[in-house]
Structure formats: structure tokens, C-alpha cells
Structure 1
Amino acid sequence: MCYYRLKQGDLLFELSITASPSKYDHTKWSTHITYYASLPKFGKLHVELQKNSSFSPPPTGPNSSFKGLFATSRNYVPGQRGFPWVRRFLHLENETIGPTWCSLLRQFDRDLPIAWADLSVADDLYEQMFQSKYWAWYDLLHGQLFTLLHQQRWDDALEHVHSWTEKDINPQGFEAEPGKWTAQEELDNAIRLVTEYVDKHRK
């Protein structure tokens, strides 16, 4: 797995390439490509929201790259949205930069600036996410919360976190782990943290 990261203002963009040996051709990698967007300034809040969760791993240790993550690449639909190389298993040369690599890199040169600009120049990041042809919400709870806080839409952020339910926190209906939060405790913690954040930053 390899990553390419680009910081633009408060936004961090990440291109992720995961490769494994092809079952059908020993000269090729079977390669899966996605891209992500995060707001690292909410990393501390993100950790506090999930640090004792029974249902979602906190964005720490091996999951640190998920801090503030709110968006991921949209699946490709021809003529409507996304890019044809996204989330597909591409067969790329494993020992040299051959024709398929060159073709993919040319597509990166053309497509990635479009995806980055789609968010980085948006007047309202939250609203842009609903309109974007290239991005989908990574996390409807925390992802939407971070973008609302980023836009300083304080009342909307409070309304959003107050709309969460225990089922949103624990959609699979798992039992809470011993010593960790129940869904209600995680929900109460989120409301408290977001209320404190808004009270501190609202002008």
C-alpha cells in the first residue's frame, strides 16, 4: 500500500493505492485505488468522540490516518459521476512503469486536480459534498459534523449531533464491550463534546 498526500489549507487529500499479486498474470499487480479528504484540525475531537467506543475503533495508532476523515471517492457511473479508475481492480505492471501504468498516471494528471479543486475552492464544503460528482460522504455522522464545524455552522452542528440515535452509533446492535461505552454513553459524550466545542469557538 502506498499513499500520496496533499495539504491545501485546512483540507488534507490522500490518494491510496493498494496492490497485491495478480492471480492471473505474475507480471502484474492487482491494484485498488481510492482517494480521501479529511480535516486534520478535528483530529483531537475525532479521537475524543470515539476513544472508548464499543462499536467503532478510535482514529489512533494504525487508524491515525482516519482523523478528521469526511469524504471518499465516488463510485464511477459512466457519464454521470466519478472516474473510471476509482475502486476498480486494475492490472498494472509489477516490475516496470509500462503502458498501463503510464495510462493511469496520465489519468491522475487529468482527474486528480479536478477532484481536489471540487472541494478546495468550494464556498460551502458541506453543501458541496451533496452536489459533488467526485466525492461521497465517508461517515454520515462524524464526517458531516466536521464539515459543519469547519463552516462555523454552529447551530446546524448542534442540531446534527442531537439528531443522532443509539442505532446510528451501533447499527449492528452489538453488545457494549466491558469497560467501554454503551451506545447511549457514546451519544451523550458526543453531545457534550460538540456543545463544549461550539461554546468555545462561537463568536
Structure 2
Amino acid sequence: MMLLTRRLAILALAATVLTGCATSTANLSTATVGAYRETIDLAGRLSVNYQKDGRPESISGSFNWEQRPGTIDVTLMSPLGQTVAAINVTPGSATLTQAGQEPRTAADIDSLTQQTLGWPLPVSGLRDWLQGYAVDAQGQRFRASPASNSVTTKDGWRLRFVDWQAAGGSDAAAGAAAAAPVPRLIQAERAASGDIQDLAIRIVVNPAA
């Protein structure tokens, strides 16, 4: 199970990620993301590549993201749908529970994911990124759009919002040129994080129902 947890499946989502991003953004190119929402429910897929102790590591799987005012719940799953980890974040603490293990709690979720999973899942950043927002290197609020889609964050992540969809999903995109877009494909890279080097995370958000 630990091997499954660390690996999930090498490059299992590569083809899915590449083929799942073909949504046209022609009718979204002049729009900007809508207002930030405290309550969202998302699902998607992710693939992670990094170097550790001179060895390349690759992980892939899917996730569910439930966000409410003051709390975030994330479920990480293997390509076969098995729950690998459950994460709960509140303003005062973060808890990560792996299958068959006792929950682990810490004040900082990003440090906790690196200690527990072996690589840093930037949950605190994703709270913004999944809606097309970030805090840039100067500490300013960045609001992405199809025309302005890259930023380096204050904590050193290089983000590209590569592909977009309308907030109501692909059907809404076809009929509403002015619909506020939301990210569909996000690429996040970081040169180093502790003993992790050349970290690259690719996140594909499923179309809204």
C-alpha cells in the first residue's frame, strides 16, 4: 500500500491529461475569472514529477476538492479509485489520514503533505489556483485570464493556467462568450522544496456538471 501511496501509478494519467485539454477557449479569451468563491466542489486528476535523492519519481491519480468557509476537504485517489489520503484543513490545523494509518496533524498543511506523502501538495495555494487566483512575488493579488495566464507566486511556484472552461462547463462555453472562465489545466513548477527537486504538478479540473 505504501508503494501505491508513493507512486499511485507511473505516468498513468499522461495520455488522459494530454487528451483532456482540447476544449476551445476562443470564446473565453477576452473574459476574466469571476469573483472568488468560498464554497466550491471540484474533482479532477493530477500528475506529479520530481527528483529525490537523485532519482526521478512520478505519481498520478485523481482528487475531490470540497471547500467551505473556513474548511477544505481533499481526497486523493489512486488511478484505480482507491482512497490514498484524506486531508482536512481548518484555520487552526491540518489533518492528513492515509489508509490504514493513524491521522497526522500539523499547523501547516504543505509541510504535512511533504512529510507524509513524500512530496508537497500545495493545498494552501490550490485554494486560490483552482479558481484562477494567486499571490504574486510582490505579494499582490493576481487574477489570471486566458490572455494573462502565468505568474510566479510569493512562495516560489511558477504557475501557468494553460487551458480554460466556462464556469458552467463546456456546454455553457459553447453558448456564452461572456461567461467567466475557470481553469481547466494548471501547471505548477518549483525548483526545490526541502529534499525535493524539479517538482512539477499538472492538475486537470473536470468540467462542471
TM-score (norm: length of structure 2): 0.24
TM-score, with normalisation over the residues of structure 1? Answer: 0.25
Flag the structure with more relative contact order, 1 or 2, with Cα contacts below 8 A and sequence separation at least 6.
Answer: 2
Larger radius of gyration: 1
Structure number with the higher helix fraction is 1
